[in-house]
Amino acid sequence: MALFESYKQENPGAEMSFLQHLEELRWHLVRSAAVVVVMAIAIFVFSDFVFGTVIFGPRHQDFISYRALCKLGHSLGAGDVMCMKVDERPLQTLQASEQFFTHMWIAFLGGLILGFPFILWELWKFIKPALKETETSPVRYFVVVGSVLFLTGIAFGYFLLFPMSYNFLIGYQITSGNDIQTNNTLDDYISLISTMTLVSGIIFEMPILVYFLTRLTLLTPQFMRKYRKHAVVVILIAAAVITPSPDVTSQMMVGVPMYLLYEISVFVSAHVVKKYKLV
């Protein structure tokens, strides 16, 4: 590492070889991994708060999202339509090692989420030398915008998507009788909450993805506007599947943010085409 830094200082304008690029990438990855590990250790140590308050929060009736939705329903004159009754039955483990490996997985996942802005920063520092001066300015905001969008998506998935989906699934019955009892396991619960929050975070990166696809002329705002109606249908179907009740208000709580994200992506694509005069 010291030899590599000495080479950069002595030859600031020289192009690096392939092996030197690999060495530079290796240290960016090492620093990113170190931050993730530190965050993961902190999460592992404070397991009572992480699991009791954060991870298992949506399992309890006093979770902030349930109280906010119920209050919103009353303010809209919908009564108790948006008030959800949470089934607080305990989770079960079917293997002796399940709690330990769940603890490890959540620590790693939490470290990855909390360290995501730093990972983007390291990625930015790696690609910056290869960019022209005209390209550096817009990509500079990649770290901030990408981090904000990702963390916003994580919050959206945690506070809205997962609580609605979980309560719908835990109370779903394929028959009108009581022939089947749902006994939820810890593994299934963790899988559902981690998948929905991560997928939501990735979906919220859509404007960033659209930006780069437009720069590569693989996507145009005309294409996105042409298929806007199709996107709206897909969004409404997804909102109807996610929300636990058939009322329109609950579906709009999920569908409107997703539609706004699509419109923001159209604006981003149009801005890129106009700024860089892409055909």
Instruction: Find out whether 122 and 116 touch, Cβ atoms under 8 Å.
Output: no
For residue 172, tell me if it sits in a domain.
yes
Whether 110 shows a pLDDT value over 90: the answer reads yes
3-state secondary structure of 131: coil
For residue 103, tell me if it sits in a domain.
yes
Instruction: Find out whether 223 and 209 touch, Cβ atoms under 8 Å.
Output: no
The confidence score (pLDDT) of residue 3 equals 44
For residue 214, tell me if it sits in a domain.
no
**Which range (68-77, 95-104, 219-228) has the least confidence?**
68-77
For residue 142, tell me if it sits in a domain.
yes
Q: At what angle do helices 64-75 and 248-276 cross, to 10 degrees?
A: 100
For residue 128, tell me if it sits in a domain.
yes
For residue 230, tell me if it sits in a domain.
no
* % of the chain exceeding 90 in pLDDT: 51
Residue 91 belongs to what domain range? 2-204
Give me 77's structure tokens.
């004159």
The confidence score (pLDDT) of residue 245 equals 58
Q: How far is CA 27 from CA 11, 60, 143, 173, in A?
A: 19, 43, 19, 52
Q: What's the predicted TM-score (pTM) here?
A: 0.86
What value does the mean pLDDT of the chain take? Answer: 86
Q: How far apart are CA 250 and CA 69, in angstroms?
A: 9
> Which candidate, 110, 276, 132, places its Cα nearest to that of 193?
110
For residue 279, tell me if it sits in a domain.
no
- Using pLDDT thresholds of 50, 70 and 90, give the confidence band for residue 159: very high
The confidence score (pLDDT) of residue 132 equals 67
Number of domains in the chain: 1
For residue 266, tell me if it sits in a domain.
no
